[in-house]
Amino acid sequence: MRLWLGIGFCVAGMAAQAAVLPVIAGDSNRGAKLFEAEQCIKCHAVNGRGGKVGLDLGRVVNRGYTPAHLTSAMWNHAPTMWGAMEAAKIETPQLTPQGAADLFAFFYSARFFDKPGEAASGKAMFESKQCGTCHGITDSRAEGAPPVDKWESLADPILLVQQMWNHSFRMRQAFARRGMQWQVLTGGELNDILAYLRSLPETSGLGSHFSNTSGAEGEQLFASKGCVNCHHGSLALENRLKNMTLTDIAVDMWNHAPRMLQTPPTFTQNEMRELLSYLWMRQLVYPGGSIADGQKVFSEQKCSACHAGGTNGARQLPGQATKYSEVTIIAALWRHGPQMLRRMRAAGISWPRFKSPQEVADLIAYLNSVQ
């Protein structure tokens, strides 16, 4: 599973954003291996598999998490985590930005960032929205519609977006032939339907996967597929996809399909991955905070005590060539955090804690504004 940065802006701003804010591609398969290799699994479980010391990263009760939520929570609890790891004789991971991206992708594949669905409600919704009219669980009931047990999109959220979009035009025609009304969905309804379909014995072998690309070809696709012809000005996608899950995006694209006057363009799996990496991930991981508020966070959290003048062995911040995101902050936390904590204690400085995920967003905006 690859994950990471990107989503859309009006075309005028897209090229500039893409050049300024780099995308780190993450892969969930690599992330899963890293999660075990770095012994995270000794404390944290994922969907019931793993340790019981920390929270289960696949069964968070209060969902709606964003990368900023994860970063602030991990940062605030880091000293406690390091203490527990030291007591258990677990070596602190030396995490790179690439490794952080892979772990984030792994968490996304585990649906850590999804809003929870209810399988019972999803079963009723699957029938009331007439999905079962054409799609049987193990058989096709109409016009060659693929059965649910063949839906690879249940295991890959980007593939879900691609297939719902590609098939929407053909399904709209099939609905019309049968005299059926187009079924509008909400994000909650699709989450419930997916929870139901993923709970079936017939789909248990599909697993889960998530990957993104660097999004380097996304801008060109956005133009060549004609998206730019409508999505500019007041309809530009800039800042409209923040904190959305891919399920939310799939629903929006599905509901949008009948309003298109012409036959919509289709996307291959790789094209959709490029487009979403370009349009979606950048907004997800660069949350667009306030530069002024971020400067206050930098000062009030006493970051400036060491990083403004490069004292106590700290790097001068801001002013580095690095572009900061949740990925790079998490990587820096695990690579340099324990040493930073020791130096802070020696200098009589308390460990800084974020009051909210928004402070993470604001700090990132400030650090990136003065490179």
279 and 299: one domain? Answer: no
Task: Give the SS3 label for residue 45.
Answer: strand
176 and 272: one domain? Answer: yes
- Do 137 and 147 form a contact (C-beta atoms < 8 A)? yes
197 and 136: one domain? Answer: yes
Least confident range from 27-41, 158-172, 314-328, 329-343: namely: 314-328
Segment 223-227 mean pLDDT: 92
Q: Answer whether residue 38 is part of any domain.
A: no
Query: Which domain-ending residue is among 243, 265, 285?
Result: 285
Residue 10 has pLDDT above 60, yes or no: no
Query: Which domain-ending residue is among 285, 313, 346?
Result: 285
Q: Answer whether residue 326 is part of any domain.
A: yes
Q: Is the dihedral of CA 26, 27, 30, 35 positive or negative?
A: positive
Burial of 31 from C-beta contacts in 10 A (0-12 / 13-18 / 19+): buried
147 and 127: one domain? Answer: yes
Number of domains observed in the structure of the chain: 2
Stronger pLDDT, 15 or 311, i.e. the higher one: 311
123 and 243: one domain? Answer: yes
Segment 45-57 mean pLDDT: 81
> What is the residue-averaged pLDDT of the chain?
84
Letter string b/e over residues 254-286, b meaning 16 or more CB atoms within 10 A of that residue's CB:
beebeeeeeebeebeeebbbbbbbbbbbbbbbb
Q: Answer whether residue 147 is part of any domain.
A: yes
Residue 99 CA to residue 327 CA, distance in Å, equals: 9
292 and 277: one domain? Answer: no
Q: What does the block give as tokens for 173?
A: 């025609």
Q: Answer whether residue 36 is part of any domain.
A: no
276 and 324: one domain? Answer: no
277 and 297: one domain? Answer: no
Q: Answer whether residue 230 is part of any domain.
A: yes
The pLDDT score that the predictor gives to residue 90 is 85
* pTM of this structure: 0.83
Query: Which domain-ending residue is among 229, 263, 285?
Result: 285
301 and 210: one domain? Answer: no
123 and 178: one domain? Answer: yes
Residue 338 CA to residue 70 CA, distance in Å, equals: 19
Structural domain including 365 reads 66-92+288-369
128 and 175: one domain? Answer: yes
Residue 72 CA to residue 287 CA, distance in Å, equals: 13
